[in-house]
Structure 1
Amino acid sequence: MIVDQSEDILVLTNSQMEVEFVSQSLENTLEISVANSIGKKINEVLENFPSLPLMKPNQKMVIPVTTPKTKRKLLIEFEFKPQYTKEASIKAIFAIGRDVTGRENSLKKFKDTAFKEKELNQLKSRFVSMASHEFRTPLATILSSALLIELLLKKDFNPEIKAKVINHVDKIVTQTNRLTDITSDVLLLEKSIQPGMKISPKKIQIGHFVEELVETINRENLDQRKVKFFMPDTDVTVQTDPSLLVHILRNLILNALKYSEDSMEPEVHLQYRGAYFELRVKDYGMGIPKDEHEQIFGSFYRAKNVGNIKGTGLGLNIVKELTKKLSGEIWLTSKVGLGSEFFVSFPFK
């Protein structure tokens, strides 16, 4: 009576893992017939039960069980107590099982919360590190250039001084623009991860749209390197948010130019694949180490081989978030020294 009233599931098997006795709690808790379980192997009664007696004395194991009638998903912890012969071989196994669903779910939530908190702390640490490095240099340049301009303007304004003034003004403009870009990236990243970000879809001719963007970037590119564009013979009308798509493509194209100096010209390819259009941005530059492919889309992450090339590590993370907003997917292939290809795929509507 005591055994049958116990909430614990008590199981006794022989050395072949065949059930010789099981308490009524098997039926009460797991909705599995006691009568139909006798004589069967325990892993036939509970499919996730270990099939071989590999357990040590007092070893514990949690297995998932879905009840056959009510379809409840439970987690049952079993503690094994092998019984041995004089020759030290197993003659029987006594197992005690109890429902630990609440405990395990609480533990999982705790682990998830701890992981997210750790991730957030790492993100904050990276941001502080990036900000202290990226903001300090341009601000120091701006300050020193401004002071030099003040000193120069107090002297005779001859052509030589004028050239120096213009040089320092150019530095101020460049570094101020850099700070503005960093700030804009941080604000756009924060906006892109918000679930309520507004999407404004419009109908556009995708081939013409990308071609115009590539031409604009080529006109802006001061080092005269050009981006090549390839598309099918026919253009297709798609519905998307043009402003978000511009940011996605512009970032990928500028990265292709930035990380492939002294290499072949980058390429942009447009292809149609069923109900999707795919854009591929290819460069022949330094490439990304294989073990960093998964991390490259993370916030403030930069590949270890970028050297002294400036950057915040936010661009690809923003691209990924904006791609998700447009119901698209992004992935890459890359080999160190041979270049990288970034793919973005979007539905036509």
Structure 2
Amino acid sequence: MKSRFITMASHEFRTPLAIISSSSGILQNFSDRLSEERKQEHLQTVQNTIKHITQLLDDVLMINRAEAQKVEFNPAPLNIIPFCRQLKEEIETTSSKHKIDFSWNLDGQIADTSVIVQIDKKLLQQILTNILTNAIKYSPDHNLINFSLTIENEKLIFTISDSGIGIPEADQMNLFESFHRGSNVGTISGTGLGLAIVKKCLDLHKGEITFNSQLGQGTRFIVSIPCVRC
């Protein structure tokens, strides 16, 4: 396991580091020949790639802690609607081509009410961020991601759906295993750790995740977490 982990991690870090090296080298050696627009493009590439590496590091550290059963579970009161709105906006800034449509229906009410629940904010952020960013990543030709929240039978139910490449049936049974990636991802980057992290975070919440997917038509994930309202 450790050998496979090191091989996968080193491979995934090599490409973004090469991109940073290339763009910074061009800026250093040919700055006087570049237009201001081209300079800004290379700087933006460096910044975006650093963000990508940071996310990779976070995933690697998280799965390491989870495998060693060292992930802490610290539930605390959280106003769930503002949290989801802010998360949606933060993730939208990472992609200029995609929009996340967030909606909610709490106990039959769709008004902008304050709903405080007892939950681990950090783990919930890991769960939703991984699924939402995957929806964006694997929907290159479709710009709308649907994200909804309901409360049913004392459970928070998050539904995230896209119209992307879908998950091949042969890959679906191994979807939440570390390092597993769909056979149709092509050159789309990734470590295969995101959904494994989601599953481990949900286990700490005693939550569940289900999905349905059709190749070439998209995927829908449903996350259910027991809800204690404050």
TM-score scaled by length of structure 2:
0.85
Is 2:54 the partner of 1:180?
A: yes
Shift of 1:345: 0.8
Shift of 1:133: 2.8
Contact 1:152 1:161 (C-alpha < 8 Å) held by counterparts: no
Q: CA RMSD in A?
A: 2.3
Contact 1:204 1:238 (C-alpha < 8 Å) held by counterparts: yes
Distance 1:287 1:165, change over 3 A: same
What is the letter of the counterpart of residue 43 of structure 2? V
Distance 1:261 1:348, change over 3 A: same
Q: Equivalent of 2:17, from 139, 145, 156?
A: 139
Q: Equivalent of 1:202, from 76, 83, 108?
A: 76
Contact 2:99 2:143 (C-alpha < 8 Å) held by counterparts: no
Shift of 1:150: 3.0
Matching residue of 1:319: 198
Contact 1:297 1:320 (C-alpha < 8 Å) held by counterparts: yes
Q: CA separation in 2, counterparts of 1:171 and 1:297?
A: 31
Shift of 1:295: 0.8
Is 2:70 the partner of 1:192?
A: no
Secondary structure of the equivalent of 1:231?
strand
Shift of 1:161: 5.2
Contact 1:149 1:165 (C-alpha < 8 Å) held by counterparts: yes
Shift of 1:164: 4.4
What percent of counterpart residues are identical? 34
Q: CA separation in 1, counterparts of 2:208 and 2:68?
A: 18
Contact 2:76 2:120 (C-alpha < 8 Å) held by counterparts: yes
Between 1:258-267 and 1:296-305, the stretch displaced more is 258-267
Larger radius of gyration: 1
CA distances 1:205-258 after superposition (whole Å, capped 9, x unpaired) = 32343233223333x144242111221125543210112111211111111122
Shift of 1:162: 4.7
Q: CA separation in 1, counterparts of 2:22 and 2:7?
A: 23
Matching residue of 2:85: 211
What is the letter of the counterpart of residue 227 of structure 1? I
Shift of 1:163: 4.5
Between 1:284-293 and 1:260-269, the stretch displaced more is 260-269
Contact 1:227 1:266 (C-alpha < 8 Å) held by counterparts: yes
Structure 1 runs not aligned, ≥5 long: 1-119
Between 1:280-289 and 1:236-245, the stretch displaced more is 236-245
Is 2:175 the partner of 1:309?
A: no
Q: CA separation in 1, counterparts of 2:102 and 2:95?
A: 19
Q: Equivalent of 1:151, from 15, 18, 29?
A: 29
Highest RCO, 1 vs 2 (Cα 8 Å, sep ≥ 6): 2
Structure 2 runs not aligned, ≥5 long: none
CA distances 1:42-69 after superposition (whole Å, capped 9, x unpaired) = xxxxxxxxxxxxxxxxxxxxxxxxxxxx
Shift of 1:299: 0.9
Contact 1:293 1:332 (C-alpha < 8 Å) held by counterparts: no
Is 2:138 the partner of 1:259?
A: yes
Distance 1:290 1:238, change over 3 A: same
Q: CA separation in 1, counterparts of 2:127 and 2:48?
A: 23
Distance 1:294 1:161, change over 3 A: same
Q: What is the number of equivalent residue pairs in this alignment?
A: 222
Distance 1:224 1:179, change over 3 A: closer
Is 2:13 the partner of 1:170?
A: no
What is the letter of the counterpart of residue 193 of structure 1? E
Q: Equivalent of 2:96, from 214, 223, 226?
A: 223
Matching residue of 1:5: none
TM-score scaled by length of structure 1:
0.58
What is the letter of the counterpart of residue 135 of structure 1? F
